[in-house]
Structures are given as C-alpha cells and as structure tokens.
Amino acid sequence: MTPGQEKTIDVDKILKNKLKSVSVGSLENAVAKVISEMVGEDYKCTIGEVKYTLFSGADFHIKIELSYNPEQ
C-alpha cells in the first residue's frame, strides 16, 4: 500500500458469521471422512456445543473415535 492510502474494512462481512449456516452434522461427517482417509480406519466425529464468536469464528469441542464395526 502506498503512503496515505488506507485499506477499508468491510465491517458487515466481519460481523456476519457464515459459519452459522454450516450444519454441525455435515461438519462432523466431513471431519470423520478426512480423519478416516488419513488413518486408513473408520472414525466418527462428535462436535459439542458450538459457540459462535463475533468476528466470524466458532469455538467447539471435537471428539474423534474409532468406529466399531463388527462386520469388518
């Protein structure tokens, strides 16, 4: 940036938390799929209470467990 030029901040974009539109179930499935592919075993994911932050973020507890499938 050249001297004297200020970068404008889109406050509406920062305050609109798009993470709220993401399904927790979809996020659990996506994380479980990635972990399973990385490890080569079938894993499941559980996400605890989601707390959305003011600036487009989220805090939550994530639990990854090996899925038990007696048929494998």
Report the alpha-carbon distance of residue 58 to residue 20 in Å, rounded: 9
Give pLDDT, residue 4: 65
Render pLDDT for 8-57 as a digit per residue (tens, 0 to 9). Answer: 877 777 678 888 889 999 999 999 999 999 999 999 999 999 999 877 88
Render pLDDT for 47-63 as a digit per residue (tens, 0 to 9). Answer: 999 999 877 889 999 99
State the pTM of this model.
Answer: 0.71
Domain layout of the chain by residue ranges: 11-66
Residues 6+ apart with CB under 8 A from 46: 28, 62, 63, 65
Q: Is the dihedral of CA 37, 41, 42, 45 positive or negative?
A: negative
